[in-house]
Structure 1
Amino acid sequence: MSESSIAIPTVYGLRSSGNCYKVQLLLDLLDRPYHWVDTDSSAGATRTPEFLALNPNGKVPLLVLDDERRLAESNAILCYLAEGSSYLPADDWDRARTLQWLFFEQYSHEPYIAVARFVRRWLPEGHERQAEIPRLLERGGNALDVMEDHLGSECYFSGGAFGVADIALYAYTHCAADGGFDLSRWPRVGAWLERVRAQPRFSPMAA
């Protein structure tokens, strides 16, 4: 990436969203300046004509560069911003292993752990989607089991070192209790969360 293309990117996001937090966390770890535009999807901010002109999919996070190029999807943004840094492995095999965990996060982790958090925190008591909670806890627990097993032999998920896959998985794992997950069941995951929080320039998710 040329320096000019990432000089001061703009991020449209909701700070309490794990997917948006991923981008914030990486930018803070990189010590890179950025503009943040608070965009509350729950209040319809991503469905306005102005936002849809930027991202027709109507979702955050959205990265906008100085030259007006736009990039959506949180894990794609992570890979772009991390290019050339220690957070994205240069080795082909380690990069493929990192991508494996990024895909795992989006397909086997986030749809259950993040959705359980959404249902419990943002939907009113008695909402019909509360019926989904048992299945979400079961499938999310399966994902945490996979992570726990991996952490028996390695300390991180990004090709053996801390990187973008750890950032992606941390975003919703660290607040999984909001969705009803008891993280004491997965002690290696708990220790890994502490290692992530110990990274230089780590920044927490906004309340």
Structure 2
Amino acid sequence: MKIYGDRQSGNSYKLLLVTSFLEIPYEWIDIDIRKGETKTDSFLQMNPNGKIPVLIWNDGRILSESNAILNFLAEGSYLIPKDNFERAKMFQWQFFEQYSHEPYIAVARFISHYLGIPEERRAEYESKQVGGHKALQVMETQLTKTMFLVGDFMTTADISLFAYTHVAHEGGFDLSLYPKILDWIKRIQSLDKFKPMNSF
């Protein structure tokens, strides 16, 4: 299979992590967002939404949206709960990631880490801090109760939220305010077959 993505993108890193944890072979194709490579005709034929990552399966079928690809790759593994309610909780956290976490933390990181907080985006950057801290507090509250987000076992929900949370400091978020999140990050980093973002 082929995966189109950016190695510094949290949404792409989700897939790099799951392929490492589950030892799934793949061909990686680098896409540079800042050079407009997601807006080319050839890319838009794969994903009309013009976003990474994109997976092309062995038989030519195409899948987009990072969490959909992540769950597809992890299907049947220890990362997908067999219990219906636990699986629904996994999806709950992934919806939370896309709607209440990523729009704040990932965007703040992009403005700060990649753009250097240009003056014309400073107000946007500052507005993202409030939503980002709210999302981090929700995670912190859960992680005072359980080792991982769904329970005392890892799921794809943890991969989804780890991707941008562990680099939230690059978006101006002080993770020392969230000791349970820091413990959770270390817990994931200590797992067998874990690889950091800059190692792929």
What TM-score, normalized by structure 1, do the two folds share? 0.93
Match of 1:56 among 42, 48, 52: 48
Match of 1:71? 63
| DSSP-derived class of the 1:63 partner | strand
| DSSP-derived class of the 2:20 partner | helix
Aligned-residue CA RMSD (Å): 1.2
Relative distance call for 1:125 and 1:99 in structure 2 (3 A) is closer
Match of 1:37? 29
Tell me how far 1:152 sits from its aligned partner. Answer: 0.9
CA distance in 2, matches of 1:159, 1:79: 18
| DSSP-derived class of the 2:63 partner | strand
CA distance in 2, matches of 1:62, 1:80: 12
Matched, 1:22 2:14: yes
**Runs of at least 5 residues in structure 1 that lack an aligned partner in the other structure:** 1-8
> Could you tell me which amino acid in structure 2 is paired with residue 17 of structure 1?
S
> Could you tell me which amino acid in structure 2 is paired with residue 88 of structure 1?
I
Tell me how far 1:124 sits from its aligned partner. Answer: 4.5
CA distance in 1, matches of 2:113, 2:64: 25
Relative distance call for 1:160 and 1:125 in structure 2 (3 A) is closer
Tell me how far 1:199 sits from its aligned partner. Answer: 1.2
Matched, 1:199 2:191: yes
CA distance in 2, matches of 1:135, 1:50: 35
Match of 2:130? 138
Relative distance call for 1:39 and 1:108 in structure 2 (3 A) is same
Tell me how far 1:163 sits from its aligned partner. Answer: 1.4
Matches within 5 A, 1:30-179: 30-179=22-171
Task: Return structure 1 stretches of 4+ with deviation > 3 angstroms.
Answer: 124-127
Equivalent residues, number: 199
Structure 2 contact 20–194 (Cα < 8 Å) conserved: yes
CA distance in 1, matches of 2:135, 2:33: 26
| DSSP-derived class of the 1:201 partner | coil
CA distance in 2, matches of 1:125, 1:160: 38
CA distance in 2, matches of 1:158, 1:68: 33
What TM-score, normalized by structure 2, do the two folds share? 0.96
- Structure 1 stretch displaced more, 62-71 or 150-159: 150-159
Tell me how far 1:134 sits from its aligned partner. Answer: 2.3
> Could you tell me which amino acid in structure 1 is paired with residue 13 of structure 2?
Y
CA distance in 2, matches of 1:172, 1:137: 14
| DSSP-derived class of the 1:87 partner | coil
